[in-house]
Structure 1
Amino acid sequence: MSYYVYTIIDPTNDNKPFYVGKGTNKRYESHFKEAVSSSEQTLEENNYEDCYIDDISENELEELKNSYSENSKTNKIKELLNYNYEMNDIVRIIAKDLDEPVAFAIEALLIKTVYGKENLTNLVEGQHSERFRPCNNWERVEGFDYSPREKKSHSRAREEEEKFAKGFDEPLMEIKKAFPHIKFLDEKPKLRDANDLSLMAIFDIGQVKEVIIIKIFTTVSKDVIQLELRADKKHQKEWMLQHFSNLVANPTQLLRINNDGLPEVFLPKQWRYKKRARTVQEAIKRFKILMEIIHAQDLDSLSLESKSILGYVKE
């Protein structure tokens, strides 16, 4: 079903809208039928003239309040009809061919932010109006005004705290403790790409700094650990390609190649998916294998286990 958002404007007041609505088919016609058929209601007609306000039920009071607000719109339409304006003169479609959620959003935006409910005869600001800024309010609103970067930063900080609370950092800290001579980028694990909690160990290879990233690969269980060798900068990627070319005949089969034609990750197929490390001891063993591969001069200098990681099969 196709929805639209419309306004009813006042040609006697610079065509300013006095009502915003959404609907399907010819929903806006109902306002004019009401204006033609209705008569003004008063407190006396509603039998509230002798009542204290506390004696009126909440629902009755809401209905009474709504009837006056509705009359404000209806009376304005009557006034314009008396000035010989017709429906086609004062109804304007703002947006059409919408689904209902989008129509709700545009309606609320117009009422609360663009025109201001105080300048309209609408009873409410619209669905999810809390998502929109009040009309002509340009002061910073705490909790509402923030940059996307601030929101992302706050969200990541909360998620990081949740992972710490669940103990996801503990296996990583055990691995770090097993290598006191290795330089780690951070004192404690951090939330990095794919929202995985990870540690980064840095190795100096001549003029090149290479990085082993150890990260927990799941947000559900803290006993699944993935280790990979990653190069972030161009000179690191170039070193990785050259280094693995010295070890194997076809290094691109072992490395994840980026769009620039250079490798960015070495993750052995024997360690992927269901074969990720399930214990800290297994993760420490794999860490040592990566270190051996990083420092290897050639294939012959590697252990049989490290060779097998590179796809070497003993003849």
Structure 2
Amino acid sequence: MSHVVNFAVSDWAPRLDAETQASIIDALESGDVVFLPQLEFVLEEKERTLFQSALLGRSKNISFLPAKGELKGTDSIGSERHVLQAMMARFARATADLTSHLLGLYAGELKQARTSFRPVEIVGRQTSWRKDDSRLHVDNFPSSPCGTQRILRVFSNVDPGNHPRHWRVGEPFESVARHYLKTLKAPLPGSSRVLQTLGITKTRRSEYDHYMLQLHDRMKADTAYQQRAGYTDVSFPSGSSWMVFTDHVSHAAMAGQFALEQTFMLPVDAMHTPSQAPLRILEGLMQRRLA
């Protein structure tokens, strides 16, 4: 079972000794959730009005691309949209500071990707089984293949009503992969080129991405697995933050509202222990290169 490991960090630009930094990286790479119970993303007064408003468009989350300053997934306009974008940009900057101070070993290799704001209560949300994040799963991106990149995410519970965010943290990645290994089907020859040509994927989908997407779907569609799989219930209070490699850690978001999340991408070869990456674990099980 994956563990939740606590670290006493209360500043988004903390000064930590090398030993603590190494412990955080070891925990992340081992498939643990790094919990920062004292790390609060403090809302500005003008941002609090966002939590009383209907912000979502057709998407389940609002997204922001820090590199482009691009906001998507919201119906907000005017000053409200400006405040929303500024809040998400501020969170993106805070997480960039945090990871540069906590994860010094990854310096220059960690690439900031999409920022998201999740304002909808998880309980009662109507969605398809594939998009139902209350089912245990591991992450991969259908349209943006990861290849040899890892998915690291930083979350912060910003619920002004002080409600916790509840997760389930499941079995180790290798256990999950072994369970479904014989059900994973090889990609059709030339399919990755076709997907890119049609614009379905932004780059070529590797074999690794192909199998990870299947693994994501097999887990979510398997009602028996969801009922019998071992997991730990975790509660993240409002005003706390946490970090996790979501391509490695089987997880499910069970309840909660108003969270901010920042995605980072990390090359497998930049890890302290690359053999612990899902890519390397799957390659070991399949006895061949996958990306």
Q: Which TM-score band (shorter chain)?
A: under 0.3
TM norm structure 1: 0.24
Report which of the two structures shows the higher radius of gyration computed on alpha carbons: 1
TM norm structure 2: 0.26
Q: Which has the higher helix share?
A: 1
Higher RCO (CA 8 Å, separation ≥ 6 residues): 2
